[in-house]
Structure 1
Amino acid sequence: MLLSRHLRRFDRLRIVSSPSVRLLSAKPVSDEKLRCQVEESSYDQRTVCEAITCYSNDWQKALEFFNWVEKESGFEHTTETFNRMIDVLGKYFEFDASWSLVNRMKENPGSIPNHVTFRIIFKRYVTAHLVQEAIDTYDRLDDFNLRDETSFCNLVDALCEHKHVVEAEELCFGKSVVGVSSNTTKIHNLILRGWSKLGWWGKCKEYWEKMDKEGVVKDLFSYSIYMDIMCKSGKPWKAVNLYKEMKRKRIKLDVVAYNTVIRAIGASEGVDFGVRVFKEMKERGCEPNVATHNTVIKLLCEEGRVKDAYGMLNEMPKRGCQPDSITYMCFFARMEKPREILSLFGRMIRSGVRPRMDTYVMLMRKFERWGFLQPVLHVWKTMKESGDTPDSAAYNAMIDALIQKGMLEMAKEYEDEMVERGLSPRRRPELVDTSLEETLVCR
C-alpha cells in the first residue's frame, strides 16, 4: 500500500526546472494562488521554449500552455517559440494545427516564418513518410519568399536524414529544379550521408567513387562523412587512412572531423592513440568540444578504464566544456552496480545536467533487468520533478518493472494513462487477463 501511494504521488508531480514557469494541468489558472504567481512572473522566450519542451511528449498540454501564456500573461510569441510548438505538433502528425500556427505567425512582424520553420515542417513530414507533402511545402515557399537554395538543401537534408535518400536523388537529379543547382558538393554530401543512414555500405562506396568520376570536389565534410561511414561499417582503419590522406592534401580538420578520427583510431589502434589525436587537435588550435570528450570517455569506459574516464569528466568544466547527458550515458552503459549508478545519476542532476528521455529509459531498464523496483521509482520521480513528460519507452519500462514485482493493478493504471495520452502500450497477457477478470467480477 505504501508503495502504491508513492507511485500515485509521483505521477501527480508537475514541476519544471525553470522557477518562472508553472506548467498547467487541465485549467491553468483556476487556482487563485497560481493566478497571483502568474501575474508576478515574467515570461521570456527562453522560459516559454523550455516549458514547451517539457511537454514535448504531450502535444495537447504543450499547445494548451502555448495558447494560455499568450492569452493570460500577455506574452508575445516569437518565431522561435512558434517553431518550438510546430515541432511538437509535427511529432504527433498534427499538421493542420502546425499550418494554423504558420498562418498566425504571418500576422505579427516579430514571428515571421523563417528557414527553421520550414526545415522543421520538412523533417516532420518526412518522418511521417509524407514525402510528397514535404515537396509540396517547398513549392509553396514563394508565398514566404523562402523558396531558395537554403530551403532546397533543408528539404534534401530531411529526406536523407530520415531514410528517403532514393526520393532525394530523384528530386535532385531525376528532374530539373528551377532556380536551384543540385550538382553541388553540398548536395552530394547530403546524399552520401543519406546512404549512410540506410546502412547501405556498398552504395556508399559506389557513391563516393561516383563523386570522383563526376569531378565533384570533395571537401572537409565529404571526408568527415565517409570516415564516419568507414567507422560504422566496421573498417575504422580505412577511416584512419582517409585522415592521413586529408593531412597530405592539407585539408584543415574541424572538430567534427577530429571527433571521427579519434573514434576511428581508438577503435582500430586503442584509446591511447585516440588520446594522442585529442592532444594533437589542441596543439593545432582546434578546441575539443563536448562530443570530443564524450568520444574519449566512451573509449576509456569500453576498455574498462573508468577511473581515467572519471578524471576526464572532472577536467571538463575546468576546460570550459560542461558535460551533457551523453557524457553520463557513456558511464551508465558500462556500470553494473546500482549504488554507483544512482550516485553518478545524483551527481548529474545536482550539476544541472538535464537527462534525455533515453537516459531515463536506459536506467529504468537496467534496474528492471536486475530486479530492483525502488531505483526505477527514483528515476521516474526525478523525471517528473524535472518537468519531463514520459514517452512510450518510459511508460513501458515502468509497466514492465511493476509487472515483474506482481503489481498488476498499478501497471494497468499506467497502461490506461498511456492510452489516454494517445500512446500505444505493448500487449501484455498479464494485464489483459487482469482486465478480463475485473470485468467478469463486475458482471
Structure 2
Amino acid sequence: MPPIFQQFKTIFWQNIYLKSKFKSPTIPTTCRSFLVYIHYLHIPHNRNPGESKSPFKGFHFVHSVANSLSLTAPQNEPANELAIQVQNIFKNYRDSPTRKIELALNHCCLTLTEDLILNVLRRHRSDWKPAFIFFNWVSKGGQIILGSGVYNEILDILGKMRRFGELNQVLDEMTNRGGLVNEETYRVLVNRYAAAHKVEEAIEVFNKRRDLGLELDLAAFQKLLMCLCRYKHVEVAETLLYSKGNDFGRDTKTMNIVLNGWCVLGNVHEAKRFWKDIVSSKCKPDLFTYGTFIKALTKKGKLGKAMKLYRAMWEKHCKPDVVICNCIIDALCFKKRIPEALEVFREMSELGCLPNVATYNSLIKHLCKIQRMEKVYELLDEMQDKKGSCMPNDITFNFLLQELKKPEQLPWVLERMERNEWKINGDTYNLILKLYVAWDCEERIIGTWNEMEKYGLGPDRRSYTIIIHWLHHKGRIKDALHYFWEMKSKGMVPEPRTEILVNAMSMKSKENDAEQEEKGAINSKKSSSSMRKRIRKIRAG
C-alpha cells in the first residue's frame, strides 16, 4: 500500500489529528518572476496556491481525501504544474481588468502546448470568464496555432454557461480560419443550444451543416433528435422525425431515439402510442426498443407488464441482453423483491447473458440499503475476480460511500478504490464533501475543497450548495454569503432552495448589522456621558 494511503488509514483508525500547513507545488523557474511582478503591482497574492481566499482562512487541515486518492492527477507532469500556476493567477486577479491579467500571464513566460491549454480550460469548466480570457490571450499571442480540440472545449464551456454571444464569436473565428469545424463542434453546438432550450437555434445548426463544411446526413439528424430528446423537447423531435425523416430514411435506430425520449420524460401513455407505431411500421423492434419500453414500464411501477414482456422475449427466442436483464433486476430490487432479483441474476448467467458492472451495481445499491453487507462483500469479490466489464467503477464506490455512517468506515472503501486503481472524479468529491459535512469534520471539508480546486475537478454548483447550506447550519451567515456570491461570480445558477435560503440570510444579516449599529450608538452615548461625569468630578475636585 502506498504511504499516502497508509497515512490516511492511521489518521482514521488511531484518531490522530496532525495539523500541518498546506504545501504548494514547486513553482517552475519560468514562473518565479511572476511573484515579483505581483508584488510590484501591489496586488496581494495568495502565497499558498492550494488555498483560495475564503472564510476558512486561518484553519489548517489534516491529510485530505484527494491526497489519499492521488491517482487523480500526476503532480509531476509539467503541463499539470503549469496549469495550476495559471489557475492561481486567475484566483489572485479575479476582480482585475483583463489587461492586467494578460500582463500577469505574459510575465509567467509559459511555453504553450495544446495539452496545457486544454488542462487550463478544463479547470474552468464552471467558470467561463477565466477560460475565455485565457483562450483569447492564447489566440492573440500567436505562439501556437490552435486546433479543433481547443476551440471545441471553449465552445462547450461557453455553451454550458449560456454565453452564446461569446460562443458565436469563437464559432465565427473557427469558420473564418477554415477546416476547424468538425463533428464534435456540431455535437457541442446542438447539445448546448438544446440544453438552453434554444430549439430553433439547434435546428438551425443542423440546417447550416453544409455552410460549416459538413454533410447533411442521417447520423447528424439522429444526433439532433438525441439532443432535443435529452432536454425534454420530444414533441419537437417527433415532429421533425415525421417531417424530415423520409429525406434520410426512417430506420429503427431513429425511431428508438424518439421512443427513448418519451420514456425518459416519464410519459408512458405517449411511449405506448409510439411503441405501437414502431410495431405497425416497417421498422422491426430490436433489443434497444424492447429495453427502452421495459425500462419505462418499470419506472412507472408497472413491473407486472414489464415482466410479461421480458418473459415473452425468451419465449420468442429474442434473447434479452444484459441491459434488459439489469433493468428487471433493478426494478425487482426497488420493490424489495431481492430474492427474485437474485434468481434473475442466476438465470441470466445460466442462459448465456453475462452480467456486467451495472448488474452488480444494482444489487449492491439495494443490498447496502438493507445492510446485507456480507452479500455486498461477496459480490465485490466476485467482481474483482471476473475483472473486465465487471470491475467496480465510480458508481459502485459511490453506493458504498453513501452508506457510511462514520469517518472510521472510510478507509475500507479507500482500500477497495486503491486496489482497483480507480481515479476519483468530481461527483465522488462532492459525495465525500457531503459526508464530511454530515460528520461535521471541518478540517476534512477544507482539505477536500482545496484538492478539488487543485486538480480542476471543482468546485461546481453542487459543491457550493453543500458548503453554503452547511455554513448556514453552523450559523456562519457571512461565510455562507461569501460562498454564494463567489458561486454567482463564476456564472453558476444557484438551486432554488439555495436562493430562498440566501434571501433569508441576507435579511437576517441586515437586521444583525442594524442591531449592532444601534448597540454601538447606545454604548457611545453611555461612554460620552460617563466621560462628562468624570470631567465634572475632576473640575469640582
TM norm. shorter chain > 0.5:
yes
CA distance in structure 1 between the aligned counterparts of 2:107 and 2:321, rounded to whole angstroms? 53
User: What's 1:353 paired with?
Assistant: 423
2:202 aligned to 134, 138, 142, which one?
Answer: 134
User: What's 1:17 paired with?
Assistant: 73
User: What's 1:430 paired with?
Assistant: 505
CA distance in structure 1 between the aligned counterparts of 2:418 and 2:483, rounded to whole angstroms? 25
Q: Which has the larger radius of gyration?
A: 2
CA distance in structure 2 between the aligned counterparts of 1:2 and 1:168, rounded to whole angstroms? 48
Secondary structure at 1:6's aligned position in 2? coil
User: What's 2:129 paired with?
Assistant: 60
Gaps of 5+ in 1: none
1:200 aligned to 267, 277, 281, which one?
Answer: 267
Of 226-235 and 384-393, more deviation after overlay is shown by 384-393
Q: How does 1:325-404 map to 2 (within 5 A)?
A: 325-341=394-410, 344=413, 348=417, 351-357=421-427, 359-369=428-438, 373-404=442-473
Count of residues in Structure 1 that have an aligned counterpart in Structure 2 = 431
Contact 2:161 2:492 in 1 (8 A): no
1:161 aligned to 230, 234, 237, which one?
Answer: 230
Alignment deviations for residues 208-243 of structure 1 (CA, whole Å, 9 cap, x no partner): 233223454111110111121122112334333323
TM-score by length of 1: 0.81
TM-score by length of 2: 0.68
Contact 1:55 1:388 in 2 (8 A): no
- Counting aligned pairs with the same residue, the percent is 28
Gaps of 5+ in 2: 1-53, 91-100, 522-541
Contact 1:367 1:376 in 2 (8 A): yes
Secondary structure at 1:133's aligned position in 2? helix
CA distance in structure 1 between the aligned counterparts of 2:360 and 2:119, rounded to whole angstroms? 26
The one-letter code sitting in structure 1 at the alignment partner of 2:228 is: L
Q: How does 1:259-338 map to 2 (within 5 A)?
A: 259-267=326-334, 270-271=337-338, 273-275=340-342, 277-278=344-345, 288-318=355-385, 319-321=387-389, 322-338=391-407
Does the C-alpha gap of structure 1 residues 49 and 253 become closer, same or farther in structure 2, counting only changes over 3 Å?
Answer: farther
The one-letter code sitting in structure 2 at the alignment partner of 1:116 is: E
Secondary structure at 1:234's aligned position in 2? coil
Tell me: higher relative CO, structure 1 or 2? Use CA pairs within 8 A at least 6 residues apart: 2
- Give, in angstroms, the shift of residue 32 of structure 1: 9.4
Does the C-alpha gap of structure 1 residues 28 and 191 become closer, same or farther in structure 2, counting only changes over 3 Å?
Answer: same
Contact 1:115 1:150 in 2 (8 A): no
Alignment deviations for residues 401-427 of structure 1 (CA, whole Å, 9 cap, x no partner): 112222223223212212322334524
Does the C-alpha gap of structure 1 residues 240 and 378 become closer, same or farther in structure 2, counting only changes over 3 Å?
Answer: farther
Does the C-alpha gap of structure 1 residues 340 and 354 become closer, same or farther in structure 2, counting only changes over 3 Å?
Answer: same
Moved over 6 A (4+): 7-10, 70-73
Secondary structure at 1:400's aligned position in 2? helix
The one-letter code sitting in structure 2 at the alignment partner of 1:353 is: K
- Give, in angstroms, the shift of residue 254 of structure 1: 4.1
Does the C-alpha gap of structure 1 residues 234 and 434 become closer, same or farther in structure 2, counting only changes over 3 Å?
Answer: same
CA distance in structure 2 between the aligned counterparts of 1:288 and 1:84, rounded to whole angstroms? 35
Alignment deviations for residues 29-75 of structure 1 (CA, whole Å, 9 cap, x no partner): 8489964xx44x8654xx65454333211122233444556666955
Secondary structure at 1:142's aligned position in 2? coil
2:318 aligned to 251, 270, 278, which one?
Answer: 251
CA distance in structure 2 between the aligned counterparts of 1:276 and 1:153, rounded to whole angstroms? 38
- Give, in angstroms, the shift of residue 153 of structure 1: 0.8
User: What's 1:87 paired with?
Assistant: 156
User: What's 1:122 paired with?
Assistant: 190
Secondary structure at 2:403's aligned position in 1? coil
1:5 aligned to 54, 58, 78, which one?
Answer: 58
Secondary structure at 1:223's aligned position in 2? helix
Secondary structure at 2:232's aligned position in 1? coil
Secondary structure at 1:293's aligned position in 2? helix
User: What's 1:112 paired with?
Assistant: 180
CA distance in structure 2 between the aligned counterparts of 1:224 and 1:434, rounded to whole angstroms? 53
Does the C-alpha gap of structure 1 residues 265 and 88 become closer, same or farther in structure 2, counting only changes over 3 Å?
Answer: same
Alignment deviations for residues 167-188 of structure 1 (CA, whole Å, 9 cap, x no partner): 1122222x3467323x432222
Does the C-alpha gap of structure 1 residues 8 and 75 become closer, same or farther in structure 2, counting only changes over 3 Å?
Answer: farther
